[in-house]
Amino acid sequence: MKNIITLIAISLSMQLFAQEKEQDTMRFNVAGLEFIIINHGEDTLLVSGEGTSKEVEVGKSKKNKADDDLTYWSGFDFGPSILLNASGGNQINSPYLQMDPAQSFSYNLNFFEKRIRFGTDHVGLVTGMGLSFSRYGLKNNYQLKQSADSTWGTLDTLTSFNKNQLRATYLNVPLLLQFNSSKNEDKNFHVAAGVIGGVRIGSKLVQKFDVLGKESKNKSKGVYNLNSFQALATVRMGYNDFGLFANYNLLPLFEKGKAEQVFPLTMGVSFHF
């Protein structure tokens, strides 16, 4: 898809999702960070947010690679996240793990893909690589604490947080069975299911609060006994370069015995390039 996709998400007080087309530019307001994806000849992914930026080269345009025209992994995913208990319900006992829906979401930047055809373009095995950034907003002004064998929370009665997020970043590799309805990608309806394996490469607690009328920020890097791995059972479907997805982590968010066992579920939209 030889066009420019611009994803801009800068909003603390509002959770808006709006889209406007301006020449060959598409703008999206989601929440929290700024993203810019540019495709022109070679696919260049520019990601910027909180004063930093990074470019990722993802190879030649998909239309120049006939074997990958019907592959739908590389691109951008975004969706809200919730935590489920071990029984699949939403009743979480630990008060410090109560989620703020407005601050809890995940986005994925998938920058490499490869499809293995099963003798036809209609069925194949898809793999690749990507990064996922998970945000878990904590409610009720809880401070997350950690030790070598435990993660817990304490209620902060002195500070009122505007943002209180546990953040985790993962490097992902998918293994998906994909079905295509058509060999023409402009008319293709596609469905895929499988597992996305990931390894955690970073985590931190980010807090924003007001001091004397000015906003302050605190970043605390730490493991917080988060699981080193994730295994996401995923279902993905779409038409052409737009899709929907659902990811459920088969592994608990925290290491066993060090916090209540909770399992993230994310559902959202995908934009492929």
Mean pLDDT of 181-186: 92
Confidence of residue 62 (pLDDT cuts 50, 70, 90): very low
Which of 183, 178, 188 lies closest to 73, judged by CA?
178
Q: What percent of the chain has pLDDT over 70?
A: 75
3-state secondary structure the chain: CCCEEEEECCCCCCCCCCEEEECCEEEECCCCCEEEEEEECEEEEEEEECCEEEEEEEEECHHHCHHHCCCCCCEEEEEEEEEECCCCCCCCCCHHHCECHHHCEEEEEEEEEEEEEEEECCEEEEEEEEEEEEEEEECCCEEEEECCCCEEEEECCCCCEEEEEEEEEEEEEEEEEEEECCCCHHHCEEEEEEEEEEEEEEEEEEEEEEECCEEEEEEEECCCCECCEEEEEEEEEEECCEEEEEEEECCCCECCCCCCCCEEEEEEEEEEC
The CA distance from 45 to 210, in Å, is 34
Is pLDDT of 39 > 90? Answer: no
Is pLDDT of 205 > 60? Answer: yes
For the chain, domain boundaries? 66-272
Instruction: For 156-170, write each residue's pLDDT tens digit.
Output: 988 899 999 999 999
pLDDT, the chain, mean = 83
Is pLDDT of 14 > 70? Answer: no
